[in-house]
């Protein structure tokens, strides 16, 4: 996948989740380095986009998820880039905790297994919508800046 602002934001939220859930000093040190690198990469990406160095068609990379929409209600994604980034962080947090159930799937009661798998799928769809929305709004902001 090509890097976009949305994909970089997604990676940053995941690093923050790993930091929150880790107690290993070496892991935390490595995650801190990754966090700084991603922050720098985000800053460089934003600056390059507004400077016209990154072509506008490379500011988005739509996931084009193909899925059965009937019975698969995915939360709406709207608001400013900051609001959508916040929703992305929330989705990744819920996704993290749902994924934790899968790591010990044998302990999930049989009647709950389908619900867990469905929840993973829907959360991943919402995550993708957030990433795509951040990318689209950022591309629109860059285009608007160029037109003024």
- Among 29, 14, 30, 22, which residue's Cα sits nearest to residue 99? 14
Check residue 65 and give its pLDDT: 67
Rounded-to-integer distance, Cα 1 and Cα 15, Å? 18
Domain locations in the chain as residue ranges: 5-147
Rounded-to-integer distance, Cα 126 and Cα 40, Å? 26
According to DSSP, residue 104 is labeled: T
Check residue 1 and give its pLDDT: 45
CA distances in angstroms from 61 to 96, 116, 126, 136, 143, listed in the order given: 24, 28, 16, 9, 16
Asked if residue 8 lies in contact with residue 42, where contact means CB atoms within 8 angstroms, the answer is yes
The DSSP H or E segment spanning 143 is: helix 110-147
Per-residue pLDDT tens digits of the chain, which is 148 residues long? 469 999 999 999 999 999 999 999 999 999 999 999 999 999 999 999 999 999 998 999 877 766 677 778 888 899 999 999 999 999 999 999 999 999 999 999 999 999 999 999 999 999 999 999 999 999 999 999 888 7
Check residue 79 and give its pLDDT: 95
- Determine the 3-state secondary structure of 6 from DSSP: helix
């Amino acid at each position: 996948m090509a890097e976009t602002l949305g994909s970089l934001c997604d990676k940053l939220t995941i690093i923050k989740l790993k930091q929150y859930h880790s107690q290993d000093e070496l892991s935390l040190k490595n995650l801190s380095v990754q966090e700084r690198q991603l922050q720098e990469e985000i800053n460089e990406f934003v600056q390059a986009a507004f400077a016209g160095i990154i072509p506008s068609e490379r500011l988005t990379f739509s996931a084009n998820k193909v899925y059965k929409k009937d019975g698969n209600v995915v939360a709406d994604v709207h608001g400013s880039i900051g609001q959508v980034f916040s929703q992305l962080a929330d989705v990744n947090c819920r996704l993290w905790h749902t994924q934790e159930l899968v790591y010990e799937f044998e302990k999930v009661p049989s009647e709950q297994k389908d619900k867990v798998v469905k929840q993973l799928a829907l959360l991943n769809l919402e995550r993708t919508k957030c990433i795509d929305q951040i990318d689209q709004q950022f591309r629109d902001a860059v285009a608007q800046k160029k037109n003024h």
